C-alpha cells in the first residue's frame, strides 16, 4: 500500500521574462488502487503538475511538499523518483535516435529491478506486453518514439507502465490523439496494470471520453494552478454537460 | 630527395586550408623538417579471396592519378618510394571484408605512405583499414572505383594518443559506380583526413559517412571535398562528432563544388556535433559552390549542440541513471553511422571505445 501526498505545491517556470507562477498550492492524496481524474481547461497547470512530480528540470518548486510513503520526492533525482515507484506517461513522448525500444526497455527494467532481467523470461514478458497492446513485434527494433504515430507513442508509454510496474502512475493526456479503438486498447492496458499491481492512477485529461473505460474514484477540477472542486465520478458527468466555464477566471 | 621539400610553399597557418590546424603539432610533416624512415606499415593480414591482390610496387610503375594542393599529399607523392596496391579484378564479388592493418615493425620514425585501391568494373567489395599504434604518418590513399563497381571503404583511426596522421582519402568514381566511405576517428593527437571525391563519368554516386569523438587535447579534422564535374552524379555526406574535455577540437569542412557541366547533380551534406562539456570546440563549415542551376538538389545542414535535456529526462524518468542515460544518447547518436559497418565485432569495439572515452572525459 503506497500513498503519494501533495501538499500546498507551488511551482514556477523560468522564462526569458522571469519566473512565472503556474501551480498555486495544489493538495492531492493518491493511494494504491485509487484512480483520480484531474480535469481542467488548457493552461490550467495540469501538465506542470505531472512534470513537477516527475522532476523535470524546467520547473522550479517554490513551495509545498510531495512525499511518497513519507519519503521526500522533491529531494530525489529524476531516476530516483522512478525507482521510488513513480511513473509519468507523457503527452509528448521524446524521440531518442539510435536507441532501440528493446535496448531502452531492458536498460530501464535493469535500473528499476536492480539487476538485468533474465533474458528468456524478459523476452516473453515484452512479447506479452506488446501483444496485449496490439503492437507488432517489429516495434521493439525501432528507435524509441522515432517516427511513431501518435497512437504508437501512447501504446509504447502504456507498455512501459505494464512492464516497469510502478506504484503510482501519472497519465498526462494519454487519451489525446487516439481513435476509438486505440483508446480502448490503451485503457485496457491501464486497467490491467491497476489490477496486477494495485496501481494508483492520476489521469489528466480534458475530456470525459477516457473515463468510460477507466473508472475514476475521484474527480478533481483544476483551474488557475489549483484544485477548485472535487467529487466522485458524477462530477465528470457534470463537466461533460456544463464545461469549465464556471471555474475559469475564478 | 629531401631537396624536393624546398619546392613547396610551407603553410604558415594563415591559408584557408590550414587555418584550423595546429601546425606545431604536425611533427614537421608539413614543412619537411621531420626525418622520414622507410617504414611500410600498411599490411594485408589473412588470406585474400581469388581476384584480390595486395602487393607493393615501385613508384616508377605507378604514378599518382590525381593532383592535390595539400602540401603533405604532395610530399607523399614526391617521396614515397613504393606504393601499397590493392586490386580487385573485374566482375568479382568479394564476400569477405578485405582487412588492411598497420604493422609497426621496422625502423621507427615518420612515414610517408602511398596507397592505391583499385576495384575494376562491375565488382563489389568492402575494404577495412584499421589504423592503430603510435605513428607520425603522412598518407595518400587513391581509390579508383571502376565502371559499375561498388566499393565500401572503411577507415578506423584508433591511433595511440601521441600519434599524428595527415592523410588524403581520395576516391575517383567512374560511370555507374558507387562509392561509400565510413571514416571513424577516435584516437590520435592530431588527425587530419581529407576525404575527397572526383566523379569521372555520369551516373556515379558517393556517400561519405563519418564519426569522430575528440577528448582532452585532441585535434581531429576532416576536410571533405566533393567535385561534381560530370552530369547526373549523386553525393551524400553525413559526419557526426562528439567532443568532451579541455582543448578537444574538431574541424569539419564540407566543400561541394558543382561545376557548370554537372547538370542533374543531387547532393546533400550534413554535420552534427555534440558538445559534451565546456572547454571543447567544434568548427563546422559547409561550403556549396554552384555553377549551374540545372540540378536535382543541393543542400547542407550543420548543427552543434549540447545534450538534449528532454531526451535525458525521458530516459531518467524510467529509472535510468544520468550517466547511463548520457551513454545511451551518445551511443544512439553514433549508431546511425556505426551500424553501417558490416562487422558486428568492429561495431561493438568502437561503441565500447566511445563508452570509455565518455567515462574518461567524465562527461
Angle of CA points B216, B220, B222, to nearest 5°: 160
A131-173 pLDDT, tens digit each: 999 999 899 999 999 999 999 999 999 999 999 999 999 999 9
Best A14, A77, A79, A85 member to test B by mutation, with max B CBs in 10 Å, is A79
Taking a C-beta distance cutoff of 8 angstroms, is the pair B205, B233 a contact?
yes
B81-113 pLDDT, tens digit each: 999 999 999 999 999 999 999 998 766 789 999
Q: Quick one: closest CA in A to B309, which residue?
A: A57
pLDDT of residue B288: 96
Q: Is residue B350 part of a domain?
A: no
Q: Is residue B352 part of a domain?
A: no
Q: Distance, in angstroms, between B184 CA and closest chain A CA?
A: 17
Residue B174: all three cell numbers together: 567512374
By residue range, what is the domain housing residue B19?
2-307
For residue B5, is pLDDT > 60? no
B222-236 pLDDT, tens digit each: 999 999 999 999 999
Q: Is residue B348 part of a domain?
A: no
For residue B6, is pLDDT > 70? no
pLDDT of residue B363: 59
> In this predicted complex, what is the ipTM?
0.96
pLDDT of residue B4: 45
B318 contact residues in A (CB cutoff 8 A): 82, 104, 108, 111-112, 160, 164
pLDDT of residue A240: 86
Number of separate domains in chain B: 1
Quote the pTM value. Answer: 0.89
Cα–Cα dist B72/B70, whole Å: 6
Report CA Rg, chain B.
Answer: 20
Average pLDDT, chain A: 94
Q: Is residue B235 part of a domain?
A: yes
Beta pairing class for B266-275 and B234-243: parallel
For residue A222, is pLDDT > 70? yes
> pLDDT confidence of A42, banded at 50, 70, 90?
confident
Average pLDDT, chain B: 94
Mean pLDDT within A21-36: 97
Would you tell me which residues 280-309 of chain B have a C-beta closer than 8 angstroms to some C-beta of chain A? 308-309
B335 contact residues in A (CB cutoff 8 A): 97-99
Q: Is residue B339 part of a domain?
A: no
Q: Does B336 sit within 8 Å of A96, measured CB to CB? A: no
pLDDT of residue A243: 86
**Chain A contact for B270, CB < 8 A?**
no
Mean pLDDT within B13-32: 92
Q: Is residue B237 part of a domain?
A: yes
Best B270, B318, B327, B331 member to test A by mutation, with max A CBs in 10 Å, is B318
Residue A230: count of CB within 10 angstroms of its CB: 13
pLDDT of residue B358: 87
Q: Is residue B321 part of a domain?
A: no
Q: Is residue B236 part of a domain?
A: yes
Amino acid at each position: 500500500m503506497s500513498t503519494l501526498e501533495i501538499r500546498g505545491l507551488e511551482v514556477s517556470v523560468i522564462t526569458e521574462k522571469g519566473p512565472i507562477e503556474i501551480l498555486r498550492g495544489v493538495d492531492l492524496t493518491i493511494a494504491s488502487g485509487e484512480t483520480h481524474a484531474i480535469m481542467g481547461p488548457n493552461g490550467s497547470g495540469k501538465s506542470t503538475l505531472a512534470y513537477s512530480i516527475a522532476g523535470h528540470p524546467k520547473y522550479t518548486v517554490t513551495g509545498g511538499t510531495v512525499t511518497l510513503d513519507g519519503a521526500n520526492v522533491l529531494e530525489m533525482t529524476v531516476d530516483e523518483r522512478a525507482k521510488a515507484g513513480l511513473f509519468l506517461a507523457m503527452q509528448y513522448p521524446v524521440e531518442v535516435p539510435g536507441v532501440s525500444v528493446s535496448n531502452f526497455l531492458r536498460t530501464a527494467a535493469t535500473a528499476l529491478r536492480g539487476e538485468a532481467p533474465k533474458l528468456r523470461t524478459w523476452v516473453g514478458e515484452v512479447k506479452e506486453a506488446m501483444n496485449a497492446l496490439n503492437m507488432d513485434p517489429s516495434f521493439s527494433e525501432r528507435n524509441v518514439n522515432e517516427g511513431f504515430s501518435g497512437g504508437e507513442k501512447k501504446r509504447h508509454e502504456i507498455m512501459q507502465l505494464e512492464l516497469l510496474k510502478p506504484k503510482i502512475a501519472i497519465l498526462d493526456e494519454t487519451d489525446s490523439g487516439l481513435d476509438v479503438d486505440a483508446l480502448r486498447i490503451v485503457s485496457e492496458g491501464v486497467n490491467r496494470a491497476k489490477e496486477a499491481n494495485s496501481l494508483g492512477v492520476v489521469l489528466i485529461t480534458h475530456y470525459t471520453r477516457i473515463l468510460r473505460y477507466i473508472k475514476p474514484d475521484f474527480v478533481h477540477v483544476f483551474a488557475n494552478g489549483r484544485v477548485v472542486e472535487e467529487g466522485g465520478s458524477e462530477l465528470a458527468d457534470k463537466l461533460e454537460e456544463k464545461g469549465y466555464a464556471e471555474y475559469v477566471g475564478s | 630527395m629531401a631537396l624536393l621539400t624546398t619546392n613547396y610553399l610551407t603553410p604558415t597557418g594563415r591559408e584557408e586550408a590550414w587555418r584550423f590546424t595546429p601546425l606545431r603539432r604536425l611533427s614537421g610533416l608539413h614543412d619537411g623538417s621531420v626525418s622520414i624512415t622507410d617504414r611500410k606499415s600498411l599490411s594485408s593480414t589473412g588470406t585474400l579471396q581469388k581476384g584480390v591482390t595486395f602487393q607493393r610496387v615501385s613508384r616508377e610503375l605507378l604514378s599518382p592519378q590525381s593532383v592535390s594542393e595539400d602540401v603533405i599529399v604532395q610530399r607523399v607523392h614526391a617521396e614515397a618510394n613504393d606504393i601499397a596496391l590493392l586490386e580487385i579484378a573485374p566482375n568479382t564479388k568479394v564476400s569477405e571484408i578485405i582487412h588492411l592493418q598497420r604493422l609497426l615493425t621496422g625502423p621507427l620514425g615518420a612515414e610517408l605512405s602511398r596507397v592505391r585501391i583499385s576495384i575494376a568494373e562491375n565488382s563489389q567489395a568492402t575494404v577495412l583499414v584499421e589504423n592503430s599504434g603510435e605513428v607520425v604518418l603522412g598518407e595518400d590513399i587513391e581509390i579508383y572505383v571502376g565502371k559499375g563497381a561498388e566499393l565500401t571503404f572503411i577507415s578506423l583511426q584508433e591511433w595511440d594518443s601521441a600519434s599524428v596522421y595527415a592523410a588524403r582519402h581520395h576516391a575517383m568514381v567512374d560511370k555507374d559506380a558507387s562509392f561509400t566511405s565510413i571514416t571513424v576517428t577516435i584516437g590520435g593527437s592530431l588527425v587530419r583526413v581529407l576525404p575527397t571525391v572526383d566523379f569521372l563519368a555520369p551516373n556515379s554516386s558517393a556517400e561519405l559517412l563519418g564519426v569522430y569523438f575528440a577528448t582532452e587535447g585532441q585535434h581531429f579534422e576532416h576536410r571533405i571535398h566533393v567535385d561534381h564535374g560530370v552530369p547526373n552524379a549523386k553525393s551524400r555526406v553525413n559526419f557526426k562528432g562528439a567532443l568532451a574535455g579541455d582543448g578537444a577540437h574538431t574541424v569539419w569542412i564540407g566543400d561541394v563544388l558543382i561545376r557548370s557541366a554537372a547538370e542533374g547533380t543531387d547532393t546533400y551534406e550534413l554535420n552534427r556535433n555534440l558538445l559534451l562539456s565546456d572547454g571543447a570546440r567544434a568548427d563546422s563549415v559547409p561550403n556549396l559552390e554552384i555553377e549551374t542551376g540545372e540540378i536535382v538538389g543541393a543542400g547542407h545542414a550543420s548543427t552543434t549542440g549540447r545534450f538534449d535535456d528532454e531526451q535525458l529526462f525521458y530516459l531518467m524518468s524510467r529509472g535510468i541513471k544520468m550517466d547511463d542515460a548520457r551513454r545511451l544518447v551518445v551511443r544512439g547518436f553514433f549508431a546511425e553511422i556505426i551500424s553501417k559497418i558490416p562487422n558486428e565485432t568492429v561495431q561493438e569495439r568502437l561503441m565500447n571505445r566511445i563508452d570509455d572515452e565518455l567515462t574518461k572525459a567524465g562527461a
